[in-house]
């Protein structure tokens, strides 16, 4: 007799436990505003990333097409993956001294692990991370980017 009671008891508790779980799921049916789902490709216009989001490395230029990179190469040395390659050329300043200047700042996005060391060590704050995160391209050569713009020069006052 006792066995039979226990048998039905266990069935009752099993059904009860299933009902408890179903209740939670069912309750969301009646309060759909508590569900947080972003409709990603549709909300691209209003999507706002956090300002520190490490999307890709960029070199900000001001409106006179001037950047702040002195081609010192510290970021290149600190990069663990060899993502950054800097080519420099030597120019002559008006007072006759020879100086290193940036020729090309090549950044390979496909090799970057976004550790943020380059931005941290840069002595002249020439590079920052932007929020752009949609990097899909059809050809991986397109991931190799030249960060300094055509014809850009060093901002005055940055040594």
Partner 1 sequence: MTEEIIIKEAPEQEISINMGPQHPSTHGVLRLVLSLKGEMVQKVEPHCGYIHRGIEKMTESMTYQQIIHLTDRLDYLSAHMNNAAVCLAVEKALDIEVPERVKVIRTIIEELARIASHQLWWCSFGMDLGGLTCFFYGLRDREKILDIFEETTGSRLIQSYNCPGGLMADLHPDFQRKVKEFIVYFRKLLPEYDELLSGNIIMMERSKGIGVMTKEQAISYGMTGPSGRGSGFSCDVRKHHPYHAYDKVKFNEVLRTEGDTYARYMVRIDEMRESMNIIEQLIDNIPAGDFAVKMKPIIKLPEGEYYQRVEAARGEFGIYIISKGEKYPYRMKFRSPNFSNLSALDALTRGHKIADLVAIGGSLDYVIPDIDR
Nearer to partner 1, 52 or 98 (CB): 52
Calpha distance 151→157 (Å, rounded): 18
> Dihedral sign, CA of 128, 129, 131, 136?
positive
- The torsion angles phi and psi of 145, rounded to 5 degrees, stand at -120, 145
State how far the Cα of 157 lies from the Cα of 159, in Å rounded to an integer.
6
Beta carbon nearer to partner 1, 130 or 153: 130
> Phi, psi (5° rounding) for residue 117?
-70, -35
Cβ atoms of residues 140 and 101 within 8 Å = no
- By the 8 A CB rule, do 98 and 92 touch? yes
Task: Tell the smallest beta-carbon distance from residue 66 to partner 1 (Å).
Answer: 26
**Nearest approach, Cβ of residue 88 and partner 1 (Å):** 20
| Residue among 127 and 152 whose Cβ is closer to partner 1 | 127
Of the two residues 82 and 96, which places its CB atom closer to partner 1 in the complex? Answer: 82
Q: Smallest gap, in angstroms, from Cβ of residue 46 to partner 1? A: 16
Least distance from C-beta 24 to partner 1, angstroms?
5
> Based on CB atoms, which residue is closest to partner 1, 15 or 89?
15
* Bridge partners (DSSP) listed for residue 153: 66
Binding interface with partner 1 (CB under 8 A):
13-14, 17-18, 20-21, 23-25, 35-36, 49-50, 52-54, 78, 80, 113-117, 120-121, 129
Minimum CB distance to partner 1, residue 113 (Å): 6
- Segment (H or E) for 99: strand 98-108
């Amino acid at each position: 007799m006792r066995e039979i009671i226990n048998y039905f008891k266990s069935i009752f508790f099993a059904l009860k436990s299933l009902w408890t779980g179903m209740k939670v799921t069912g309750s969301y049916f009646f309060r759909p505003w508590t569900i947080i789902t972003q409709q990603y490709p549709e909300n691209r216009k209003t999507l706002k990333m956090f300002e520190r989001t490490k999307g890709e490395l960029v070199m900000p230029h001001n409106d006179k097409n001037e950047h702040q990179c002195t081609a010192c190469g510290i970021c290149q040395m600190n990069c663990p993956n060899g993502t950054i390659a800097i080519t420099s050329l030597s120019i002559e300043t008006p007072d006759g001294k020879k100086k290193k200047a940036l020729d090309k700042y090549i950044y390979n996005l496909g090799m970057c692990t976004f550790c943020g060391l380059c931005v941290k060590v840069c002595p002249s704050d020439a590079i920052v991370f932007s929020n752009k995160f949609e990097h899909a391209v059809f050809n991986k050569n397109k991931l190799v980017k030249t960060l300094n713009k055509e014809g850009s020069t060093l901002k005055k006052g940055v040594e």
